[in-house]
C-alpha cells in the first residue's frame, strides 16, 4: 500500500509542476528562469532595483541582472568610468553615482543605454567633463551634475545627446566656458549654469540647437566678446542677468539665430561698443531692464518685433536730449529710465533731469560748471589777467 501511495504522490506532483510551468496563462507559456544571484556588496530589492552603496566597491558590478532598471552606486569607490561602462544594462532607466570618488568620465561612458531617463552625479571630486563624456544619450530627460568640482567642460562633451529636459551644472567652480562646450546637444529644455563664470569663449554655445531656456547669471566678465553666441540657434529664452558684463564688444551677438526672448536684466555694464540684433538674428522680443550702465552705448541696432527698455540707470549728459541716446527706441524711454550720473540728478527720470543737469542759479555751481565743461580755475586766472591789464592802462594814462 505504501509504495502505491508514493508512486501516486510522485505522479500528482509531476502533473502539478507541469501545470505550473508550462500551462498557458493569458496565452503565454511560463518558462522557468534562473534568477541571478545578487552581487556581493549590493542589495537587490528586486530584479529591476539594485542598491550598491558600498565604499569598498571599486567598479560597476558585472554580475548584475540585465533586467536592472534602477541602479544606485552612491558612495562607491568608483574613480574612473570607462567607455561603455554600463553597456550590459540596456534596460537601465535611473542611475545614481552620487558621492562617489569619481574623477574621470571616459568618452561614451554611457553608450548603449537606450532607455536611460535620469542620471545623477553629485558631490564627487569630478573636475573636468571630458569631450564626449555624455555623448550619444538618446532618450535621457535629466542630467544632474551639481555640487561637484567641475571647473571645465571640454568641447563636444554632450555631442549627439538629444531630447533632454534639464542639464544642471549648478554649484560647480566653473570659471570659463570653452568653445564648443555644448556643440551637438539638441532639443534641451533648460541648461542651468553655475554662478561665478569669468570667461565665455567665442562660440562657446556653437552647435547648441533647440534650447528652451539658457540662463547666464551671477557672472563676473571683463566683457562679452565677439561671437560669444555664434551658432546658438532656436532658443526660447536667453537671459543675461545679475552679472557684471563688462564691455559689450562689437559682434557679441553675431551668429545668434531664432530667439523668442533675449533678456539683459539687472546687470552692471561698463559700456556698449555695439548692440546689434539685425533681422538675420530673428529675435522676437528684446528686453533690457534694471541695468546700471556707466557709459552711454556707442551703437544700437535692434531689428526685432518687440522692444522693452525700462528701469535702466544711464548717464545723463549735460545739455543733451535724452532721446538722442541710441537706446531711445521705445515710446516712453525718457520717462521709464533713470539717470546714474551726474550725482545731483541720480535716480531721476531722464525726462525730468534733462533740463536741470547744467542749469543752476548765479551762473551755476562748480560741479554743474565742470559737468558743462567749464574750468573755474582758468576763469579766475583770466579775470585776474584782465584786471592787471586794466590797472596798467590806467597807470599810463
Q: What is the pLDDT of residue 134?
A: 95
Contact 151, 169 (CB under 8 A): no
Give, rounded to a whole angstrom, the gap between the first and last alpha carbons of the chain.
Answer: 165
Question: What CATH code is carried by the domain that includes residue 71?
Answer: 3.80.10.10
Q: Is residue 185 assigned to a domain? A: yes
Q: Are 169 and 193 in contact (CB under 8 A)?
A: yes
| Full residue range of the structural domain in which residue 113 is found | 53-194
* Alpha-carbon gap, residue 133 to 82, rounded angstroms: 10
Q: How far apart are CA 291 and CA 338, in angstroms?
A: 10
Q: What percent of the chain has pLDDT over 70?
A: 80
367 falls within a domain? no
Q: Which of 218, 270, 279 minimizes the C-alpha distance to 249?
A: 270
Other Cβ atoms within 10 Å of 179 Cβ, number: 17
59 falls in which pLDDT band (50, 70, 90)?
confident
Residue 12 lies in a domain: no
* pLDDT of 251: 96
| Residue 262 forms part of a structural domain | no
Question: Quick one: pLDDT at residue 7?
Answer: 52
Q: Which of 98, 92, 128, 125 is CA-nearest to residue 110?
A: 92
Q: What is the pTM of this model?
A: 0.76
At 276-331, the pLDDT tens digits run 999 988 999 999 999 999 998 999 999 999 999 999 999 987 777 888 999 999 99
Grid cell locating 257: 539665430
**What does the pLDDT look like over 65-81, one tens digit per residue?**
999 999 999 999 999 99
So what's the pLDDT on residue 223? 96
Q: Would residue 116 count as lying in a domain?
A: yes
Q: Is the peptide bond before 105 cis (omega within 30 degrees of 0)?
A: no
Residue 372 has pLDDT above 70, yes or no: no
Average pLDDT of the chain to the nearest whole number: 84
Domain count, the chain: 1
SS3 content of the chain, % helix, strand, coil (to 5): 15, 30, 55
Residue 102 maps to a domain: yes
- Per the CB < 8 A criterion, the answer to whether 261 and 284 are in contact is yes
- Residue 159 within a domain: yes
Amino acid at each position: 500500500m505504501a509504495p502505491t501511495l508514493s508512486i501516486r504522490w510522485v505522479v500528482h506532483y509531476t502533473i502539478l509542476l507541469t501545470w505550473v510551468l508550462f500551462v498557458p496563462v493569458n496565452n503565454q507559456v511560463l518558462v522557468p528562469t534562473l534568477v541571478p544571484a545578487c552581487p556581493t556588496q549590493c542589495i537587490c530589492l528586486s530584479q529591476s532595483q539594485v542598491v550598491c552603496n558600498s565604499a569598498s566597491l571599486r567598479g560597476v558590478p558585472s554580475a548584475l541582472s540585465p533586467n536592472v532598471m534602477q541602479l544606485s552606486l552612491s558612495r562607491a569607490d568608483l574613480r574612473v568610468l570607462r567607455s561603455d561602462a554600463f553597456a550590459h544594462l540596456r534596460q537601465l532607466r535611473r542611475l545614481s553615482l552620487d558621492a562617489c570618488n569619481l574623477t574621470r568620465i571616459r568618452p561614451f561612458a554611457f553608450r548603449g543605454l537606450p532607455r536611460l531617463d535620469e542620471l545623477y552625479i553629485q558631490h564627487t571630486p569630478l573636475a573636468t567633463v571630458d569631450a564626449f563624456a555624455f555623448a550619444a544619450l538618446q532618450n535621457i530627460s535629466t542630467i544632474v551634475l551639481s555640487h561637484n568640482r567641475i571647473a571645465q567642460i571640454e568641447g563636444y562633451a554632450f555631442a549627439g545627446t538629444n531630447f533632454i529636459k534639464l542639464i544642471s551644472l549648478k554649484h560647480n567652480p566653473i570659471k570659463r566656458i570653452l568653445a564648443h562646450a555644448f556643440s551637438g546637444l539638441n532639443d534641451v529644455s533648460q541648461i542651468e549654469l553655475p554662478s561665478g563664470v569669468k570667461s565665455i569663449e567665442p562660440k562657446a554655445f556653437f552647435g547648441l540647437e533647440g534650447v528652451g531656456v539658457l540662463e547666464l547669471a551671477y557672472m563676473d566678465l571683463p566683457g562679452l566678446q565677439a561671437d560669444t553666441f555664434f551658432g546658438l540657434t532656436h532658443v526660447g529664452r536667453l537671459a543675461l542677468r545679475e552679472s557684471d558684463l563688462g564691455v559689450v564688444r562689437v559682434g557679441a551677438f553675431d551668429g545668434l539665430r531664432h530667439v523668442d526672448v533675449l533678456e539683459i536684466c539687472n546687470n552692471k555694464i561698463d559700456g556698449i561698443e555695439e548692440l546689434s540684433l539685425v533681422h538675420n538674428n530673428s529675435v522676437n522680443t528684446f528686453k533690457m531692464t534694471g541695468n546700471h550702465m556707466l557709459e552711454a552705448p556707442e551703437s544700437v541696432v535692434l531689428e526685432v518685433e518687440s522692444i522693452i527698455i525700462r528701469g535702466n540707470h544711464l548717464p545723463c549728459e549735460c545739455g543733451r536730449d535724452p532721446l538722442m541716446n541710441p537706446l531711445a527706441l521705445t515710446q516712453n524711454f525718457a520717462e521709464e529710465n533713470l539717470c546714474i550720473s551726474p550725482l545731483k540728478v541720480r535716480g531721476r527720470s531722464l525726462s525730468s533731469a534733462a533740463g536741470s543737469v547744467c542749469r543752476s542759479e548765479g551762473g551755476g555751481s562748480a560741479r554743474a560748471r565742470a559737468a558743462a565743461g567749464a574750468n573755474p580755475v582758468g576763469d579766475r586766472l583770466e579775470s585776474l589777467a584782465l584786471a592787471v591789464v586794466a590797472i596798467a592802462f590806467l597807470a599810463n594814462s
